[in-house]
Structure 1
Amino acid sequence: MERIDKMFGENVFNDAVMKERLTKPTYKALKNTIDKGEPLDVSIADEIAKVMKEWAIEKGATHFTHWFQPLTGLTAEKHDAFIDPEGPGKVILKFSGKELIKGEPDASSFPSGGLRATCSARGYTIWDCTSPAFVKDNTLCIPTVFCSYTGEVLDTKGPLLRSVDALSKEAIRVLRCLGNTTSQKVFPNVGPEQEYFIVDKKSYDEREDLIFTGRTLFGAPSPKGQELDDHYFGVLKERVSAFMKDVDKELWALGITAKTKHNEVAPAQHEIATIYTSGNLATDNNQLVMEVLKKIALRHGLVCLLHEKPFAGINGSGKHNNWSMGTDDGLNLLDPTDTPHSNKQFLLFFTATIKAVDKYADLLRFSASNAGNDHRLGANEAPPAIISVFVGDQLEDILEQLEKGSATSTKGNSKLDLAISTIPTVEKDATDRNRTSPFAFTGNKFEFRMPPSSKSVAEPNTVLNAIVADVLSEIADRLEKASNVDAEVEKILTEIVKEHKKVVFNGNGYADAWVEEAEKRGLPNIKTTVEATKALIADKNVSVFEKFGILTKEELESRYEVALENYAKAINIEALTMIDMASKKIVPAVIKYTAELANSLNAIKAAVPSADVTTESELITKISGLTAKLNISLRELKASTEKAAATTDAYDQAYAYKFDVFEKMSVLREAADALEVLVDKKAWPFPTYSDLLFNV
């Protein structure tokens, strides 16, 4: 294989390519837009487009597309060839600045929550030059924002970019008050960790539920699961290792820093993590990571499952969103340094984040919501639905000092000596790592552990950027008016700790006692996606989005409708799939198997009238009873699904799917899974958990 450093970014129109191929004035103008946020001069677009086209053609590209991220949670592409007619039977290859800057996909066929009617179809995709273009599958992909003809944002990138600007503006205000005159821009740094499952495609193709919903709607537990902890960090299976190697190569060529890969806790579960980069680029890259995982898996006769809970009874998948704030001159504003008690800059940004998380816990909870994640949050595999912040012993001690007035000391790090002569003594980290915390400080960043594995990280990061910007804005307002900045900083820190320390929790987030304690502290426990959607239209949350021009009230209301609609559709598809599988596969298979048992029973009785057939009779009785229960559950699920589908109000409909349809689905599954245990494996109509989890 070619050296990583030689192949890395070879399919990306990155800074090195631009610097080499563009004229100096054009390169400088484009860099000023990318690095400093200066308006893009459209007059240079033609030169950029021409150079970009020639570079892409050298990479084998025949088409270009505006690559955007609508509210489906996926990416979207409309491909156009570079060809342009030039006389009879001849074409030339063209790509103009106009085509680079603006595209026109149909805006009415994507989710819009009522913002766009079918008769109002025109939409625009507009070039985001801060995320580099790239070539994949012989197509030049140009990252863009997506909006309607009348200017409403219809994607996840637009609000994210606005939130980045808001965070930068307010953070710079605070830095100026603290005497920093060199940093010109602050941006979120993000490093997503992506979990996923890998199953054999032949088994997958026999599971209608996996094909249509991404998760198993039926399935009795395998005799062996994750209880031995033998899969976690275990040796990679040969097929999985080969798949991962190809994933790495494809991602490296796209300039994505795929760094870490390993087996996760559950059988057939794995993780890939990328190195920190700017929030916008990290979001684009994670979308590509998910796409590449699915594409490369198919080449190996495998299927990648990104659903949060594809298998009951074992761990599901999340997407840990590591987030921090950096400056254009290399500062990490969340770096505590060796003496965090005296680092006022760190303490301000650190406590501002804590306040933001407490004040906007409902909004943060919504940003980590979807139908799949409802299965995962709160189980002993993922953080609880209660938002809390883990800070560790060292920083908790400093917060306690601040609550009393000022911090004067920092607990020192200790050494770890295993008393083995050949093993070196090492310095311990300042704090342990709490894997039960939904929002944990991990050295020099916060790790938001709640986001779903299948969802874009754009929404969680948009929310994080916006809510922290809001708190920083409040802090800047006070510091800019203060006659004594240092004294005002001390006052602000003490106030924040006193008012928001209730959200800080270093204990076991899985314990029942924490649920009771959180309730006493007044922390919200929003258990379902349906209930979490209300955060989008809460007055205080609308206010913060409108304050920074990230989203208008109308746009938030539309996203509220989209979120509820997506939830209802997801559960409806699951319910219909269950009905189809139970009616057309499980019931016929069980009836056939029962008939075979009955024939065998009759044959035994005829051959040996005195034979003891208690076992056979009891088995037939059990199966018949469960079949009857399944049939009743099936009828009830059909009725509930029809009733929910007929409900017109978006919230009421989503609520009905969650608290009626989903409950009926659980009852139907219980009967089916009990039957699976009793029915001969050869007679069962689709692959079992043992087949799916251990056959790769």
Structure 2
Amino acid sequence: MSTFRFQTLKETANRKPVSVENLDKKSVIFGSNVFNDKAMRQYLTPEAYKAVKSAIVNGTKIDRNTAEHVAMGMKEWALSKGVTHYTHWFQPLTGATAEKHDAFFETSFDGSDPVEKFGGGQLVQQEPDASSFPNGGIRNTFEARGYTAWDPTSPAFIFGTTLCIPTIFVSYTGEALDYKTPLLRALNAVDNAATAVAKYFDKNVKKVTPTLGWEQEYFLVDRALAAARPDLTLTGRTLLGHTSAKGQQLEDHYFGSIPTRVLNYMRDLENECMLLGIPVKTRHNEVAPNQFELAPIFEETNLAVDHNSLLMDVMQKVGERHDFKVLLHEKPFKGVNGSGKHNNWSMATDTGINLLSPGKTPMSNLQFLTFFINTIKAVNEYEELLRASIASASNDHRLGANEAPPAIISVFIGQQLTAVLEELEGVSNGKLSPKEKTDLKLNVVGKIPDVLLDNTDRNRTSPFAFTGNKFELRAVGSLANCANPMTTLNSIVAKQLTDFKKEVDALIDKKGLKKDEAIFNVLREYIKQSRNILFEGDGYSEAWEKEAAKRGLSNHKTTPEALKAKVSKKAITLFEELSIMNHVEVEARYEIELEEYIKKIQIESRVLGDIARNHVIPTAIRYQNTLIENVKGLKEIFGKDFEQYAKEQVALVKEISEHIEAINSKVDQMTEERKKANNLSSTEEMASAYCFLVKPYFELIRYHADKLELLVDDEMWTLVKYRELLFIR
């Protein structure tokens, strides 16, 4: 074992567990660092409090005078907690959060009269330099102006000694430059559409709120060991490395006893989450070694997205305190499960009803079926766009493996609900007889709660599965910002519900059908039209790929292929019709995501070439020289008969030479393909070249490097191995 690796492992073995002090009850500390309802009541005037609550519930604007009062109260609350700075916290299209800190501290022109100052203007709007953020060609680099604007629906919070104010981020000309702005528009669209449909069943419904519960999977690796791997440091995943003899094959890690060091990290992380109002509830070991999961209680979607984005930052900072490197990449290790971020989605009314949960009466179950079938229809109509929403260079490694759904989008609802839909499909077209109404309500609709009670089916290969009272979008990657798929999902459901209401109203107004009859007739047609998207079998099988092709479902296995759906006429029409994004914003995002894909593959290619030539080959040559010296020594001792004693060493020298030659030639070829790709003028062509001409060399080079890892003396090998990375010490 190399000296560096030995010292690194010795440090890890001798490290003492990080102790976590006894904490108060979570219910006591929850939201302590959040400017939540309790804090607002204490620090705001009654008028300012009402204005903020109205903005949250009804979307009303807060005038500048009221903003001054809110800023004053927010500042006093923050100062009481030792805060020194404030920032507009936003989510640009980089995949990370962004912040620029300003001190409350100010002085007069001559430097006298220092004071802590924070006004309504500073709360409501700031002007960060937008030139270095991705914009997809919306603006020139020299046009640096961009604006962040306060989002009162997501409460301000304190992180460290900084007051963080969640904001949207837009360009000087008004186009969205972030994830939050389109998401808020999509949530508003689905609220309007779903509320209108919900009124068929309850006139008292005034608002529908989409909810989200994400499940964050991640790996923990010792920081010192991770630092010894250039690929982990620079790309978030291992580009080389032979699989460990023991991996996940014994299935002993899943839900197993949590290692003490990891548990200390989890407790510390949960404490930070409680202070920040992130309602984390579940923690457990995942399938792969060193892989874990954290999941919260469901929240309103905008807040849930903010909380997940914040969590990913907090995880890294807490990890540093415990000498862990947190890996959020979807596939950091070859040969073991990757990480996802299942997005559990539903809709709830302001009257307290989950629209994707059946009730105790036929009417409530008809409401459930309405939203259930419309969601399926929405996915059927826009499956390509939904696939595009989860596309990324890192998620491409995960989709289709044994821990993630395939690239083919389908909907799983279970055998029992499939049977219900088949019965509904048989409903007569037009007016229902009294007997048909009775049979339908008692024998089909009325039995849905019992069906769901006994429906324990699960399909881990389904990208979009119904799981009792919600849909689970399983295809989202662990590194992703939830806003991207949630914007798409809520948009397509909003569009579908809008179309549904038009069709139902037309049957009522023009054909004289009663409301229930009109709803049944439209749902019946939707079931017929959505058959292709429903699938209950093995999503990994070749048979399903062939069947999906016959059904006309897309199967875009790479990001460059998948992203094209984002700029289709159908997609642009959808987003423009719902006022979520205009064609400029849609096209800009397409360009940004392609560029991000190119840059990530480019970085991985360069890192792989560097490691191969600066670590793998020199180490292999050093060991080869040792073997050669051994052969020379044997020749001196045995003379002409040395060959029978040096046969294995000579064969090993030849084998090492073959692998070295293969790595060198493949790195040269990969570099040439990269140069060609860089000279292409079209972003689409460049992304395609990196995907199909550069990236294939990764596995070819890895194959030979991993073979050398097995051949070379362990003491000489400079890179930390899988068996050392994958098991917490």
* 2:128 alignment counterpart: 105
* 1:44 alignment counterpart: 66
- 8 Å CA contact 1:195–1:270 kept in 2: the answer is yes
Residue by residue over 1:536-580, the C-alpha shift from the partner in whole angstroms, topping out at 9 and shown as x without a partner, is 110111111001110001111111100100000000000000111
Residues 139/428 of structure 1: CA separation in 2 closer, same or farther (3 Å cut): same
* 2:164 alignment counterpart: 141
- In 1, Cα distance between equivalents of 2:369 and 2:719: 56
- CA shift, 1:613, in A, is 1.3
* 1:497 alignment counterpart: 527
- In 2, Cα distance between equivalents of 1:657 and 1:88: 56
Q: 2:102 aligns with which of 70, 76, 80?
A: 80
* 1:281 alignment counterpart: 303
Aligned residues with identical type, % of pairs: 48
Residues 491/397 of structure 1: CA separation in 2 closer, same or farther (3 Å cut): same
Residues 224/478 of structure 1: CA separation in 2 closer, same or farther (3 Å cut): same
* 1:118 alignment counterpart: 141
- In 2, Cα distance between equivalents of 1:239 and 1:158: 39
- 8 Å CA contact 1:174–1:479 kept in 2: the answer is no
- CA shift, 1:431, in A, is 3.4
- CA shift, 1:238, in A, is 1.3
Q: 2:243 aligns with which of 215, 218, 221?
A: 221
Residue by residue over 1:587-635, the C-alpha shift from the partner in whole angstroms, topping out at 9 and shown as x without a partner, is 1111111111111121122123335111111111111111111111111
Letter in 2 for 1:607: I
Does 2:283 correspond to 1:261? yes
Letter in 2 for 1:126: A
Higher mean C-alpha displacement, 374-383 vs 404-413: 404-413
- 8 Å CA contact 1:393–1:431 kept in 2: the answer is no
- 8 Å CA contact 2:393–2:600 kept in 1: the answer is yes
- In 1, Cα distance between equivalents of 2:625 and 2:239: 26
- In 2, Cα distance between equivalents of 1:384 and 1:339: 37
- CA shift, 1:88, in A, is 3.6
Does 2:651 correspond to 1:618? yes
Residues 267/179 of structure 1: CA separation in 2 closer, same or farther (3 Å cut): closer
Map 1:133-532 to 2 at 5 A: 133-176=156-199, 178-337=200-359, 343-405=365-427, 407=440, 408-409=443-444, 429-481=454-506, 482-483=508-509, 484-532=514-562
Letter in 1 for 2:540: Y
- CA shift, 1:645, in A, is 1.6
Divergent runs of 4+, >3 A: 86-90, 338-342, 410-415, 608-611
Residue by residue over 1:264-315, the C-alpha shift from the partner in whole angstroms, topping out at 9 and shown as x without a partner, is 1011111100110000000000011111111111111110000000011111
- In 1, Cα distance between equivalents of 2:706 and 2:58: 59
- 8 Å CA contact 2:392–2:559 kept in 1: the answer is yes
- In 1, Cα distance between equivalents of 2:605 and 2:728: 27
* 2:706 alignment counterpart: 673
State how many pairs are aligned. Answer: 684
Secondary structure at the aligned position of 1:233 is classed as: coil
Residue by residue over 1:151-187, the C-alpha shift from the partner in whole angstroms, topping out at 9 and shown as x without a partner, is 00000000000000000111111122x1422111111
- 8 Å CA contact 2:154–2:302 kept in 1: the answer is yes
Residue by residue over 1:38-60, the C-alpha shift from the partner in whole angstroms, topping out at 9 and shown as x without a partner, is 22223200111011011111112
Letter in 2 for 1:564: L
* 2:662 alignment counterpart: 629
- CA shift, 1:90, in A, is 4.2
* 1:28 alignment counterpart: 50
- In 1, Cα distance between equivalents of 2:195 and 2:97: 33
State TM-score, norm by structure 1.
0.96
- 8 Å CA contact 1:340–1:346 kept in 2: the answer is no
Residue by residue over 1:483-518, the C-alpha shift from the partner in whole angstroms, topping out at 9 and shown as x without a partner, is 322221011110000011211112221222211221
Q: Give the RMSD, CA atoms, in angstroms.
A: 1.6
- In 2, Cα distance between equivalents of 1:258 and 1:107: 33
Secondary structure at the aligned position of 1:66 is classed as: strand
Letter in 2 for 1:652: E
Secondary structure at the aligned position of 2:625 is classed as: helix
- In 2, Cα distance between equivalents of 1:519 and 1:648: 33
- In 2, Cα distance between equivalents of 1:307 and 1:339: 45
- CA shift, 1:429, in A, is 3.6
- CA shift, 1:525, in A, is 1.0
State TM-score, norm by structure 2.
0.92
User: Unpaired runs of 5+ in structure 1?
Assistant: 416-426
- In 2, Cα distance between equivalents of 1:88 and 1:452: 51
User: Unpaired runs of 5+ in structure 2?
Assistant: 1-22, 429-439
Letter in 2 for 1:38: T
- 8 Å CA contact 1:365–1:387 kept in 2: the answer is yes
Q: 2:722 aligns with which of 676, 689, 692?
A: 689
Secondary structure at the aligned position of 2:178 is classed as: coil
Residues 233/81 of structure 1: CA separation in 2 closer, same or farther (3 Å cut): same
- In 1, Cα distance between equivalents of 2:690 and 2:375: 35
* 1:534 alignment counterpart: 564
Residue by residue over 1:369-400, the C-alpha shift from the partner in whole angstroms, topping out at 9 and shown as x without a partner, is 10011111011110011111111122111110
- 8 Å CA contact 2:288–2:336 kept in 1: the answer is yes
Residues 181/340 of structure 1: CA separation in 2 closer, same or farther (3 Å cut): closer
- 8 Å CA contact 1:340–1:347 kept in 2: the answer is no
Does 2:44 correspond to 1:19? no
- In 2, Cα distance between equivalents of 1:36 and 1:239: 46
- In 2, Cα distance between equivalents of 1:413 and 1:77: 47
Residues 338/501 of structure 1: CA separation in 2 closer, same or farther (3 Å cut): farther
